[in-house]
């Protein structure tokens, strides 16, 4: 009986702490942008045939003064819930486009910049205008911007969403399906949506060298992408063996710790240089 009581106390305290933490996060998130607590990191995307960096994914970091760095997997859903994902997402997009422009000027190469867009952002009626405004304001080529959307976002196949995709494509912006293979939706959206790129989720790549099912699924996705003339990117590549299998099976691009972790813009230059060495 005593134990039960203790358990209950422990349990309720945990819930208490958790809701306290969430409350804290929500409040802190509202002011984080104006307090300059965000930073965009960039993870190289490599062409597996040439082993050259062809682009980057912009990944948001939050240096929270009390708790330290908080994972975007934690704070992005929170930012979506309270709506601040809209100004934050816009800020990330502008930062990433400015970075793209700077890298183009410095290296004379038009890297593709991938930016994650949350469902909440896509649902805004003027999202396409906002994106294209930032593109022209920063002076980048629309074709060097790639917007990443997850499968769950695509499940909303309302006409207005489809129209937004077409408007972006018409302006030259490309679109990736992120975390491909993890969602609930069917393959039919590959036909309905004007998509350029499929990003194979890390969960399939992880055991590709040891799990024959994961390997079969991955190779099927690569074959599907190649047949449909879509670019395919393998996410979360960490080992030479994974790279070898992917390359052997005509996976065009890859991203992962094997090549580089996401980096702050200051450290990015050295990594790009090191890839340029013969």
Report the nearest approach of ligand C2E to the CB of residue 4 (Å).
Answer: 39
Q: How far apart are CA 41 and CA 61, in angstroms?
A: 7
Candidate list 59, 97, 134, 233; residue touching ligand C2E; CB under 6 A:
59
CA atoms within 13 A on the CB side of 56: 30
> Looking at 23-31, 156-164, 232-240, 270-278, which segment touches ligand C2E (CB under 6 A)?
232-240
The answer to whether the beta carbons of residues 271 and 263 sit under 8 Å apart is: yes
> Looking at 84-92, 103-111, 172-180, 243-251, which segment touches Ca ion (CB under 5 A)?
172-180
Task: Say whether residue 252 binds Ca ion (CB under 5 A).
Answer: no
Q: Which residues between 94 and 133 bind ligand C2E (CB under 6 A)?
A: 116, 118
* Alpha-carbon separation of residue 169 from 24, 37, 48, 62, 112 (angstroms): 39, 33, 26, 31, 15
List all residues 6 or more positions away from 35 whose beta carbon is below 8 Å from its beta carbon: none
Q: What is the per-residue DSSP string for 37-53?
A: -EEEEEEEEEETTTTEE
What are 229's two structure tokens? 């003339």
> Looking at 122-130, 184-192, 254-262, 264-272, which segment touches ligand C2E (CB under 6 A)?
254-262
Q: How far apart are CA 47 and CA 60, in angstroms?
A: 23
Task: Say whether residue 257 binds ligand C2E (CB under 6 A).
Answer: yes
- Secondary structure letter of residue 181 according to DSSP: T
* Alpha-carbon separation of residue 22 from 26, 27, 39, 75 (angstroms): 6, 9, 21, 9
Candidate list 76, 131, 234, 251; residue touching ligand C2E; CB under 6 A:
76
Q: Which residues between 129 and 158 bind ligand C2E (CB under 6 A)?
A: none
Q: How far apart are CA 246 and CA 232, in angstroms?
A: 11
DSSP reduced 3-state for 159: helix
* Partner that binds at residue 44, options ligand C2E, Ca ion, none, CB closer than 5 to 8 Å by kind: none
Cβ burial, residue 266 (10 Å; 0-12/13-18/19+)? exposed
Report the nearest approach of ligand C2E to the CB of residue 150 (Å).
Answer: 7
Task: Say whether residue 92 binds ligand C2E (CB under 6 A).
Answer: yes
> Looking at 15-23, 165-173, 186-194, 255-263, which segment touches ligand C2E (CB under 6 A)?
255-263
Q: How far apart are CA 62 and CA 192, in angstroms?
A: 36
Candidate list 121, 178, 255, 263; residue touching Ca ion; CB under 5 A:
178
Nearer to ligand C2E, 55 or 236 (CB): 236
Nearer to ligand C2E, 225 or 263 (CB): 263
Nearer to ligand C2E, 210 or 229 (CB): 210
Interface residues toward Ca ion, by CB under 5 A = 116, 148, 178-179, 235
Interface contacts to ligand C2E, rule CB under 6 A? 43, 59-60, 71-73, 76, 89, 92, 116, 118, 178-179, 202, 236-238, 255-257, 262
């Amino acid at each position: 009986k005593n134990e039960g009581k203790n358990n209950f106390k422990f349990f309720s305290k945990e819930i208490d702490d958790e809701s306290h933490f969430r409350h804290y996060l929500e409040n802190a998130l509202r002011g984080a942008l104006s307090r300059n607590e965000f930073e965009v990191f960039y993870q190289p995307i490599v062409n597996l045939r040439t082993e050259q960096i062809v682009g980057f994914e912009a990944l948001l970091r939050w240096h929270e003064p009390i708790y330290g760095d908080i994972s975007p997997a934690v704070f992005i859903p929170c930012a979506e819930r309270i709506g601040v994902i809209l100004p934050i997402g816009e800020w990330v997009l502008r930062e990433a486009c400015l970075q793209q422009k700077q890298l183009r000027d410095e290296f004379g190469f038009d890297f593709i910049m991938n930016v994650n867009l949350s469902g909440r952002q896509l649902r805004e009626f003027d999202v396409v205008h906002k994106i294209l405004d930032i593109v022209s304001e920063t002076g980048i080529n629309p074709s060097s911007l790639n917007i990443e959307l997850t499968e769950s976002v695509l499940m909303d196949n309302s006409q207005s969403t489809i129209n937004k995709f077409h408007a972006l494509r018409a302006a030259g912006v490309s679109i990736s399906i992120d975390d491909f293979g993890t969602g609930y939706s069917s393959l039919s959206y590959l036909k309905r949506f004007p998509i350029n790129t499929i990003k194979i989720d890390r969960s399939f790549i992880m055991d590709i060298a040891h799990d024959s099912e994961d390997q079969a699924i991955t190779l099927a996705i690569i074959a599907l992408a190649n047949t449909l003339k879509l670019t395919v990117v393998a996410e979360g590549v960490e080992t030479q063996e994974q790279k070898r299998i992917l390359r052997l099976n005509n996976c065009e691009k890859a991203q992962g710790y094997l090549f580089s972790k996401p980096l702050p813009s200051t450290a990015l230059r050295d990594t790009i240089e090191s890839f340029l060495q013969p």
